Amino acid sequence: MTLILNNDDVRSVLTMEVAMRALEEAYAQLAREEAVCRPRIDIQIPTSDPNKVYQWGTMEGGSISGYFAIRMKSDVIYEQEYNGAVTQEKYCVRPGNYCGLILLTSIENGEPLALINDGYLQHIRVGADSGIGTKYMAKKEARVVGMLGSGGMARSHAESFLLARKIRRIQVYSPTKEHREDYAREVGERFDIEVEAVDSPRDVYRGADIVAGCTDSAIPIIVGDWLEEGTHVTCIGGHPDEATIKRIDVSLRLGNAPAPWGRPELELPDEYLTYAAKSQTPSNRRMKTPGKKAHGAIAEDRAITLAELLGGKKPGRTSSRQITYSERGNVQGAQFFAVAGKVYELAKQKGLGKEIPTEWLLQDIRD
């Protein structure tokens, strides 16, 4: 039987601690070449609305540990401006609905094991990455987090930072006052720590040991001129500005997708690759800029990988005064087989989800 798991099922079994352990093992498997993945691939197609673009995205990977997974997203994307901030918005069918699915299979017999909603798992796995980066790169005495953003990603990041360091305070900013105040109240009560909603993004940086960009901004979100000495930085929405990149002393990249078999020249550091159809009708839509690559390693000349750090080949932070940075790299595919595999095992143990006959997904005509 194939298991269908929704976000409530995933939430009931997946903890941040489980996700961080699963991801660290997946990155170790990649370093040992026991796992494989590829960068995210997006396909963009103009819609009939001149301000919107259809985007299909996939990422995939698997390992000798037993699982393969592909994560698929079907979105209509567009940009909007609110209180001076430009954000990228998306939906499926109608605003407020999204379509993200993970198909988990067995490498032993090819069986489709599970089809999983990706929403909750997505927030946890991204937060877990930043937690792993913080674990290895933030100064040991880090106690204060500056949080840019107040959505789901900002919540999962708070949880992962608390596992990585003894956090005592979070200062949060987002453009909507109500949202940042709701975040402060909820996160403060949940983790029994001090959380303050601040009225300016500048205030996020004051006294912060860790600064996290957790927004859907379409423009630079981390301001390098505001970073204090010794700060560790993560950014999963928008991107750091040029001043930030110049100030980074050491940048940790958790992993790199390998080159295709026998084609080492095709290895790319890019986070994603995009294929796009074109429209002959003029429009206002913002598709990805032709010729502009997704970012590779941030501060590449100062970058190290997790494998190099753990193997003792390169040092990480060597001073509490250094400014450090951490990012995932282009190994999203590896994340999904690792975390979805754990979710599947735990859900099976608890009897969660709905089962459908695997035969519904099989056929007797060779493809």
What's the CA gap between 296 and 58, in Å, rounded? Answer: 18
Which residues, at least 6 apart from 19, have a Cβ–Cβ distance to it below 8 Å?
A: 124, 125, 127, 128, 339, 342
What's the CA gap between 58 and 43, in Å, rounded? Answer: 9
pLDDT tens digits, one per residue of 128-160: 999 999 999 999 999 999 999 999 999 999 999
What Rg do the C-alpha atoms of the chain give, in angstroms? 21
Phi, psi of 345 (to 5 degrees): -65, -45
Residue pair 23/133 in contact by the 8 Å Cβ criterion: no
User: For position 80, what pLDDT does the model report?
Assistant: 85
Q: Give the DSSP per-residue string, 287-309.
A: PPPTTPPPP-STTGGGEEEHHHH
Q: Give the DSSP per-residue string, 126-163.
A: HHHHHHHHHHHHS-TT--EEEEE--SHHHHHHHHHHHH
User: For position 98, what pLDDT does the model report?
Assistant: 96
- All domains of the chain, ordered by start, with CATH? 2-121+332-361 (3.30.1780.10), 137-256+294-329 (3.40.50.720)
pLDDT tens digits, one per residue of 301-338: 999 999 999 999 999 999 999 999 999 999 999 999 99
What's the CA gap between 186 and 76, in Å, rounded? Answer: 31
User: Distances in Å between the alpha carbon of 139 and those of 85, 127, 186, 302, 327?
Assistant: 31, 19, 27, 18, 17
- For residue 95, count other CB atoms closer than 10 A to its CB: 10
| pTM for this predicted structure | 0.90
What's the CA gap between 304 and 313, in Å, rounded? Answer: 9
User: For position 286, what pLDDT does the model report?
Assistant: 56
- For residue 322, count other CB atoms closer than 10 A to its CB: 18
User: Distances in Å between the alpha carbon of 26 and those of 127, 262, 333, 334?
Assistant: 16, 23, 10, 6
How large is the average pLDDT for residues 162-170?
98
Interhelix angle 332-350/16-31, nearest 10 degrees: 130
User: For position 283, what pLDDT does the model report?
Assistant: 61
Tell me how far the alpha carbon of residue 134 is from its chain's centroid.
Answer: 14
Four-residue CA torsion sign, 349, 355, 361, 363? positive
Tokens read off for 303: 């970058």
Four-residue CA torsion sign, 55, 287, 216, 268? positive
What's the CA gap between 361 and 2, in Å, rounded? Answer: 9
pLDDT grade for 294, boundaries at 50, 70 and 90: low
Strand order in 144-148's β-sheet? 194-197, 169-173, 144-148, 210-213, 232-235, 324-329, 250-255, 303-305
SS3 label, residue 259: coil
Tokens read off for 325: 């940075």
pLDDT tens digits, one per residue of 118-132: 999 999 999 999 999
pLDDT tens digits, one per residue of 191-228: 999 999 999 999 999 999 999 999 877 678 899 999 99
Tokens read off for 93: 């069918």
